C-alpha cells in the first residue's frame, strides 16, 4: 500500500464547476497535510496546508481533513481553465522530520 | 525576492561520470530539501538539512548519492558513477524553519539525463 494515494485522473470538469480532489494516507501518525499545484514543466507550488480535522477555506479553495478516515480532500469552486494542472497531495509524518511524502498527483482539466 | 535557484537546469552526462547539482535556497531559510521526481510521479524525498547538519538521508538510493551544505546555505547533491536509472528531475526546496508547519518552496529543478 502506498503511503499517499491519489487518483491519477484526468479529472475533467466544465468551467465554473466544483472540482473535488481526493487523497488517502496510510500512516496514522501523519500530522501535516499539503496540497501542491504543479503546472506542466514547472515546479510544485503550495496552495493549501491543513493540520487539524475539519475544513479550511482560502478563496476558491477548501481543504478538508478527516484523520479518523485518513482522508484529505481539496475542493476548487468556480473552476477556471487556469486551474488545469496536476494537484499533488503531500503529508508529513510525526517523528519523520520535515520530509514531505507525496502522492502521484491528480491531473485536473477544466473545459472552457 | 529571489526564490530557490538550481543549477544547471539541464545536465546530460555519460554513464559512469560524476555529476554535481547545486541548490541555492531562499536567503535566510534554515531547512533545505532534495527530492527526485520521475515523469508522472510526485517528488520523492532524498535528504534534508537544517543549517549545515544533514538531518535525514534515508531517501538517498545508494552510496553513489551524497549531499552537503557546508556553510548552511548552498547545497550540492553529488551522484558518482552515474547510471541510466539516475535520469530524473532533481528538485531542491527550502523552508524558513523546521517543525513541519513551514511552506517548502521548490526550485525549478535540474533535469538529469544519463546516456
Read out DSSP for B10-70? EEEE-TT--EEEEEEPPTT--EEEEEEE-TTS--EEEEEEETTEEEE-TT--STTEEEE-T
Question: Is residue A93 within 8 Å of residue A76, measured between CB atoms?
Answer: no
Cα separation, B41 vs A101, in Å, equals: 12
List residues of B whose CB lies inside 8 A of any A CB. Answer: 31, 33, 35, 40-45, 48, 55-56, 59, 91, 95, 98-109
- Per-residue pLDDT for B1 more than 60? no
Query: Which 8-state DSSP code applies to residue B102?
Result: S
3-state SS of A33-90 is EEEEEECCCCCCEEEEEECCCEEEEECCEEEEEECCCCEEEEEECCCCHHHCEEEEEE
Give the pLDDT mean for A17-40.
Answer: 94
Question: Is residue A13 within 8 Å of residue A108, measured between CB atoms?
Answer: yes
Cell 527526485 identifies what position?
Answer: B36
Give the pLDDT mean for B22-40.
Answer: 95
* A101/B33 touch (CB, cutoff 8 Å), yes or no: no
Cα separation, A105 vs A10, in Å, equals: 10
* A97/B55 touch (CB, cutoff 8 Å), yes or no: yes
Residue among A105, A109, A75, A108 nearest A8 (CA): A105
What three-state secondary structure class fits B85?
helix
Give how far B61 is from chain A: nearest CA, Å. 15
* A88/B43 touch (CB, cutoff 8 Å), yes or no: yes
Cα separation, B62 vs B59, in Å, equals: 9
| Residues B63-110: tens digit of each pLDDT | 999 999 999 999 999 999 999 999 999 999 999 987 777 889 999 999
* A4/B107 touch (CB, cutoff 8 Å), yes or no: no
Mean confidence (pLDDT) of chain B = 95
* A43/B91 touch (CB, cutoff 8 Å), yes or no: yes
At residue A95 the predicted structure's pLDDT band, cuts being 50, 70 and 90, is confident
Give the pLDDT mean for A79-97.
Answer: 92
Amino acid at each position: 500500500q502506498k503511503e499517499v494515494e491519489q487518483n491519477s485522473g484526468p479529472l475533467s470538469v466544465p468551467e465554473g464547476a466544483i472540482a473535488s480532489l481526493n487523497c488517502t494516507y496510510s500512516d496514522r501518525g501523519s500530522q501535516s497535510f499539503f496540497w501542491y499545484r504543479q503546472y506542466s514543466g514547472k515546479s510544485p507550488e503550495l496552495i493549501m496546508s491543513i493540520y487539524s480535522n475539519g475544513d479550511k477555506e482560502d478563496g476558491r479553495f477548501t481543504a478538508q481533513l478527516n484523520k479518523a478516515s485518513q482522508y484529505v480532500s481539496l475542493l476548487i469552486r468556480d473552476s477556471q481553465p487556469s486551474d488545469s494542472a496536476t494537484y499533488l497531495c503531500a503529508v508529513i509524518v510525526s517523528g519523520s522530520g520535515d520530509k514531505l511524502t507525496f502522492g502521484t498527483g491528480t491531473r485536473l482539466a477544466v473545459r472552457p | 525576492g529571489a526564490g530557490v535557484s538550481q543549477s544547471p537546469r539541464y545536465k546530460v552526462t555519460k554513464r559512469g561520470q560524476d555529476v554535481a547539482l547545486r541548490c541555492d535556497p531562499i536567503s535566510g531559510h534554515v531547512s533545505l530539501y532534495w527530492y527526485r521526481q520521475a515523469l508522472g510521479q510526485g517528488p520523492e524525498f532524498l535528504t534534508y538539512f537544517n543549517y549545515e547538519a544533514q538531518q535525514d538521508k534515508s531517501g538517498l538510493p545508494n552510496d553513489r548519492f551524497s549531499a552537503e551544505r557546508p556553510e548552511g546555505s548552498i547545497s550540492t547533491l553529488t551522484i558518482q558513477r552515474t547510471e541510466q536509472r539516475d535520469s530524473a528531475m532533481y528538485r531542491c526546496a527550502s523552508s524558513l524553519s523546521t517543525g513541519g508547519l513551514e511552506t517548502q518552496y521548490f526550485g525549478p529543478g535540474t533535469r538529469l539525463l544519463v546516456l
